[in-house]
Amino acid sequence: VRLPDKPVICSADYFQLERALVNLIDNALDASAPGMLVTISCAAHDETLEITINDQGSGMDADTLEHLFTLTFTTKNEGTGFGVPIAKKIIEAHGGTLQVSSRLQQGTCVLIFMPLRRTTD
């Protein structure tokens, strides 16, 4: 986990944002074999908070990426397929965006951009 040196304030419903992040981080962990690195980082930019979740898992093909945000779509043996679509709705409801890129056998990168509220300190 990599965090900014100074506190960053993002106006959000803590419970809902946590729900979205847990869904996305769980997916990264599920896609990764034991011992593989999953990194989570945050960076503050002028108007946005960027949260990145990277895994070194098996990655996704183009068809999976195309259907990733479709409710009930899943490639897992267990699960409902609600996690990623719900995470996207939560992030967008807060004025943010969710982007996913992936390459087979190289892993997946999830980028979240959230509106940022700067402190005056």
Domains of the chain: which residue ranges? 14-115
Please report the sign of the dihedral spanned by the C-alpha atoms of residue 75, residue 77, residue 80, residue 83.
negative
pLDDT, residue 28, reads 94
- Asked if the model's pLDDT at residue 120 lies above 60, the reply is no
pLDDT, residue 9, reads 81
Taking the model in full, what pTM does it have?
Answer: 0.88
pLDDT in tens, 40-87: 999 988 889 999 999 999 999 999 999 999 888 787 778 788 899 999
Q: Give me the phi and psi of 16, to 5 degrees please.
A: -70, -45
Q: Where are the beta strands (DSSP E) in 6-106?
A: 38-44, 48-55, 97-103
pLDDT, residue 118, reads 56
Q: Which two tokens stand for residue 93?
A: 């409801």
- Sequence letter at residue 3: L
Nearest to 39 by CA among 49, 51, 30, 48: 51
Alpha helices by DSSP H, listed for 55-98, are: 62-67, 83-93
Arch. (CATH architecture) of 14-115: 2-Layer Sandwich (3.30)
- The mean predicted confidence, pLDDT, of the chain is 90
